[in-house]
Amino acid sequence: MSENYSVLMSVYKKENPNFLRVSMNSMWEQTVPTNDFVLMCDGPLTPGLDKVIAEMEKAHPGTLRVIRFKENRGLGYALQTGVKECKNELIARMDSDDISCPDRCEKELAVFAENPDISICGSLIEEFSEADPETFMPLSFISKRVVPETYEEICEFAKSRNPFNHPSVMYKKADVLAAGNYQDIRYIQDYYLWVHMLIAGFKGSNIQEPLVWMRADSNLYKRRSGKLYREIQFNLFKYMKEQGFITKKQYIKSCALRAGSSVAPNGVRQFVFKKVLRK
């Protein structure tokens, strides 16, 4: 595994500085280290976040590249720009409040080395809500998001649900760009990208073990509601139908499920995600 990789992360003003520090350190401490960490600052940040970034710049000169937007543009635009900025062909995505296991990137690099036709590699994730007040590391896990392993299974899964856990993925820059890159939309930028890549013929795989720990609270489920969230999903399923990726019957079923979920009480939506869409 001689090939190096870039890390792509985006942060904005509402993030927790302690979470950012732990998240970035989890990538610096990988068993196979990166030589290119691209941090997109999506608009002005808080003094606490800027302090963490300054610490990181001092500790990792030449490797950490901080790119700042004067105003908040949204995650889709930030990642769209960030992909182009990454200097390596392989890019490891990471969220600014999650934690990568130390050997995450080593295991994903091995998949690419053994399977040259793979364009995206992700893993399972474990979600947690309670963290140690000093280390901010998980105290216990509340759920696991299981995604399929093989390309064929991923294509079938993608017809109704997101087939990759976004903060766990590593992908090929050229293939992401060829499929149109991230879209400047809200909420499900990653799902849009995976579907475009799969329809274009790019293949993916998921390592069947949790390599990322993801922070989850009630706000996670609140964000998955409302008219805008519903319409963005409808547009994606419409695109799938137009491309022949799903049938008309599958389109109607997926839209009906999203319509119900978007107006359900948050407690019901949280129960469904934890007990039905997680394992």
Decide if 211 contacts 124 (C-beta within 8 A). yes
Between the two ends of the chain, the Cα-to-Cα distance in Å is: 32
Q: What is the pTM of this model?
A: 0.91
Residue-range domain boundaries for the chain: 5-216, 218-279
What is the average pLDDT score of the chain? 91
Distance in angstroms (rounded) separating the CA atoms of residues 146 and 169: 14
At the top level of CATH, which class does the domain 5-216 belong to? alpha beta
Please tell me the predicted confidence (pLDDT) of residue 1: 43
How far is C-alpha 4 from the chain's CA centre? Answer: 20
Please tell me the predicted confidence (pLDDT) of residue 258: 80
Report percent pLDDT > 90 for the chain: 78
Low-confidence ranges of the chain (pLDDT < 70): 1-2, 218-225, 261-279
Distance in angstroms (rounded) separating the CA atoms of residues 138 and 129: 8
Please tell me the predicted confidence (pLDDT) of residue 169: 98
Which two tokens mark 106? 């080593």
Please tell me the predicted confidence (pLDDT) of residue 269: 47
Please tell me the predicted confidence (pLDDT) of residue 186: 84
